[in-house]
Amino acid sequence: MERKDFKFISEWIQKDSTVLDLGCGDSTLLDFLRTNKNVSGYGFEKDIDKVQQSINKNISVIQADFNSGLGQYFDQNFFDYAVMTQALQENKNPDKIILEMLRIAKEGIVTFPNMGYWKNRLQLGLFGKMPISNSLPNNWFDTPNIHLCTFKDFEGLCEDLNITILDKKVLNSNYNSDNLLNFLPNFFGEIALYRFKKS
Amino acid sequence: MNSKLKQNSVGIVKPETIEINETLRLDCGKLLDSFELIYETYGSLNSEKSNAILICHALSGDHHAAGYHHKDDKKPGWWDSCIGPGKPFDTNKFFVVSLNNLGGCRGSSGPNSTDKKTGKEFGPDFPIVTVNDWVNSQKLLGDYLGINCWACVVGGSLGGMQALQWAISYPEKIKNSIIVAAAAKLSAQNIAFNEVARQAIITDPDFHDGRYNDHGVIPKRGLSIARMLGHITYLSDDSMRQKFGRDLREGKLHFGYDVDFQVESYLRYQAQAFVERFDANTYLLMTKALDYFDPAADFNGDLSLAFEKTDSRFLVVSFTSDWRFSSSKSHEIVKSLVRARKNVSYAEIEANQGHDAFLMPIPDYLKVLSNFMENVG
């Protein structure tokens, strides 16, 4: 498995649980969770090529845009976990998506890039340009990231939405963690993982 | 036979007919004491008899799904793009069975066959059969072939309904189900189209209450109109625009009611070809089987309850431009399977061919089928 954040996510997930992966890509995470945690679940994915790869892995994948509403598919607390990796910032309404995740699942897990990372701050604050970094590689005009936030912003939103953060992990763009990151996460951290539930 | 196709074709095939002498109790309440089914097989059944795929045909399909009957046939079977060596339903690996359904007009017992009790042709007296009846008859065919459990049951449109019904009727006898461009039940609009088709046939003066063969005629006009109407609903606005636009057949308007536009010529040609190969009573019966299909009805209208007993994997496929059985109908099936926590994947294939797309060799579509089949068996 290439993505180390998947390993951290896996540590948060109970054995034999049910998982929904929103924007599951080629279903590497669901495949990993199935093998290591005996997890069953579904992936949502818009892109046909990634749907093909998921079907090839024998993962249950539904080709659909989850922004068009999950309510039609899933009742309340249908899953143990709803996961979204590196896609929150691409959504039209991240706040609504988070609430929807917590309607259909008991817990939510998201990962996203930190706009407050010091290199991003430097590029915008000192050089006056939209930041480009390892975790934010696109230009301002072609980025899919329409709702970027900092870790502080996300935690503020959780407070407003009455959401309790259960776990948090801060990583650099190589998905590693170190003491520096934990010392000033919103400054040194590039990617964060959060596990949360309704308060 | 086109020599280019030869290498990944099942080649020359020969249909077989079996007589099943087992009483089949039909949904309409009538009993069929014995009946014949015509079928073709491609590939070979393994010793465990665990590699069999059942192909279910749509409204006007038949048992000839792949290969050629004669070496000079111009066209192969109706799903040759999907069945053969190296194709999604790979005959190097699987034993593929394709039959003509009961009530059909291509060799299985139906309105054109002789009623043993009276010695006369059934005609309109052949009982109306349902998707459920078909599945029951297919199960008996499986018994005859020694297939206790199908590795996969697959079909498009009305065929997809059979694949769906299989998982409900015989949950222990099916490991995988592929449901393409289908619906869990028809909408009022769908039924309305079928009713117009039926009225066209029934009101044709040559219909003679379905006893047209006794009068030495066939209700050509009615069956043509039914087919033309059907054909329009199988295409998309886009595909018709691309294929015909407003092109004129002879480059000028005639200010009369004969053919002006290419699309009119095409529809007449299709209707003519159809009338020559299809039976009006069978057409009526098939449209009724479509209208009546509603497996959720036995489960308080909750389709997810219908899936409770099955451990089958499911693949559901729809096409973006299909408005006869639109993607929303496939969503309904997918949602019910998800609610029942079944293993289901769903792909919505970009295609502009309308409902007919399920018969076309669209690369993404064939690839989805292949990827799913890789985990079968």
Structural domains in chain A, CATH included, are: 4-115+148-198 (3.40.50.150)
Query: Which chain B residues are Cβ-neighbours of A73 within 8 angstroms?
Result: 334-335, 338-339
Residue A77: closest CA among chain B residues belongs to which residue? B339
Report the C-alpha gap between A151 and B322 in whole angstroms: 45
Residue A140, classified by CB atoms within 10 Å of its CB into exposed (0-12), middle (13-18) or buried (19+), is: exposed
What are the residue numbers of the active site of B? 157, 322, 355
- List chain B domain ranges: 3-186+294-373, 191-287
The three state secondary structure string of B271-316 is HHHHHHHCCHHHHHHHHHHHHHCCHHHHHCCCHHHHCCCCCCEEEE
Query: Who among A52, A63, A75 is closest to B346 (CB)?
Result: A63
Q: Which CATH superfamily is domain B3-186+294-373 in?
A: Alpha/Beta hydrolase fold, catalytic domain (3.40.50.1820)
Residue burial B108-137, b: 16+ Cβ < 10 Å; e: rest: bbbbbbeeeeeeebbbbebbbbbbbbbbbb
pLDDT of residue B52: 98
Residue whose tokens read 């042709």 = B121
Question: Chain A 51-110, CB below 8 Å of chain B: which residues?
Answer: 51-56, 58-64, 72-75
Nearest to B124 by CA among B218, B224, B211, B59: B211
Overall average pLDDT of the B292-302 stretch: 97
CB spacing of B372 vs A55 below 8 angstroms:
yes
Tell me: the pLDDT tens digits for A39-82?
Answer: 999 999 999 999 999 999 999 999 998 877 777 889 999 999 99
- pLDDT per residue over B47-97, tens digit each? 999 999 999 999 999 999 999 999 999 999 999 999 999 999 999 999 999
A42 and chain B: CB distance < 8 Å anywhere? yes
Separation between Cα atoms, residue B163 and residue B182, nearest integer Å: 10
Give yes or no for residue B325 having a pLDDT over 70.
Answer: yes
Region B122-133: mean pLDDT is: 97
Inter-chain touch B347–A60, beta carbons under 8 Å: no
User: CA-CA distance, A138 to A133, in Å (whole number)?
Assistant: 8
Q: What is the pLDDT of residues A99-157, one digit of tens each?
A: 999 999 999 999 999 988 989 999 999 999 999 988 899 999 999 999 999 999 999 99
Query: B15-48: per-residue pLDDT in tens?
Result: 999 999 999 999 999 999 999 999 999 999 999 9
Fold of B191-287: Rna Polymerase Sigma Factor; Chain: A (1.10.1740)
CB–CB contact A56 B334 (8 Å): no
Over 80: is that where the pLDDT of B202 sits?
yes
Q: Which residue is it, tokens 């090529």? A: A49
Q: Chain B residue with minimal CA distance to A20?
A: B338
Minimal C-alpha gap between B345 and chain A (Å): 5
When CB atoms are compared, the residue of B344, B367, B375 closest to A52 is B367
Q: Which residues, in sequence order, are CB contacts of A121 under 8 Å at separation 6+?
A: A131, A187
Is A1's pLDDT higher than 50? no
State the pLDDT at residue B6.
61
Q: Tell me the mean pLDDT in the region B177-190.
A: 97
* Chain A residues with beta carbon closer than 8 angstroms to that of B347: 48, 51-52, 55, 63
Distance in angstroms (rounded) separating the CA atoms of residues B47 and B166? 24
Q: What is the pLDDT of residue B2?
A: 52
Q: Residue B4 above 60 pLDDT? A: no
Q: CB-CB: which of B335, B344, B347 is closest to A48? A: B347
Out of A51, A63, A73, name the one closest to residue B338 (CB).
A73
Q: What would the two tokens of residue B181 be?
A: 């461009």
Q: Concatenate the DSSP letters of all residues of B312-363 into one string.
A: -EEEEEEETT--TT-HHHHHHHHHHHHHTT--EEEEEE--SSGGGGGGS--H
Share of chain B above pLDDT 90, in %: 96
